[in-house]
Structure 1
Amino acid sequence: MLDKQEIYDQFKNLEGQLHAMLAQFADLQGEMTQALEQNAELEIENQHLRELVRELQRTLPEDPETPQGLSKSRQILEKLYEEGFHVCREFYGTRRKQDEECAFCLEVIYRDQ
């Protein structure tokens, strides 16, 4: 049979474990909420980009190559870039902060020109 001190120590130990688990649960819940919010923002941004691409496809000329040598698909990428979005593999679809230049995006749009 356990003495009273051992029983008390086991309860204190269990209480500490429960508090630690509750803290982990709260942290995980916060991270999940943040991930869901970010996912919702990205879905909205993605829808906006799809609409923008559709609009650009309707407004660009039908010629496969323009006088400056860009295909229609590269024209679309160029327009997206000018609208303030990354078109490079590394950051595709994210906003360019303060419209900073991105060498990766420019490479995608203008390579082989």
Structure 2
Amino acid sequence: MERDQLFSHINQIEDNMEKMQKDMQILKEFAVKLVEENVSLQMEKEHFEDLLREQSETTDGFKQNTLKNLYDEGFHVCSVHFGTHRHGEDCLFCQGFLNHRND
């Protein structure tokens, strides 16, 4: 290999290395953005799960209290006679259902 070819080849390698360094910097910046976005999404997901958990607990309590109130007002809450009036009589199915919901 002649001297001119050698220097030309070295210059080409240097150019390729500079391009690779620029590409690496772009890739590194992109990776940082992805990590930041991932952290942000993870925090948002945890916040959303907390809200869902709170809403679920509130909804379950509301449903339970609503069914208990219906039973106390004299209506069946069991699947056998749901919504019909109990005429002051206790219903073992309703009581079993309400007790099961409290467990």
Interval of TM-score (by shorter of Structure 1 and Structure 2): 0.5 to 0.7
Q: Is it true that 1:28 corresponds to 2:27 in the alignment? A: yes
User: Which is richer in helix?
Assistant: 2
Q: Deviations over 1:27-77 (max 9, x none)?
A: 1111111000000000000000000001111112226xxxxxxxxxxxxxx
Report the TM-score when normalising by structure 2. 0.57
Stretches (4+) displaced over 6 A: none
Identity of aligned residues (%): 19
Number of residue pairs aligned between Structure 1 and Structure 2: 62
Q: Unaligned regions of 5+ residues in structure 1, if any?
A: 64-113
What is the distance in 2 between the residues matched to 1:62 and 1:31? 48
Tell me the residue number matched to 2:13.
14
Provide the aligned C-alpha RMSD in A.
Answer: 1.1
Q: Using the TM superposition, give the Cα deviation of residue 3 of structure 1 relative to its aligned residue in structure 2, in angstroms.
A: 1.4
CA distance in 2: counterparts of 1:14 and 1:44, whole angstroms? 45
Q: TM-score, normalised by structure 1?
A: 0.52
Equivalences for residues 83-98 of structure 1 within 5 A = none
Aligned to 1:62, what secondary structure does the other structure show? helix
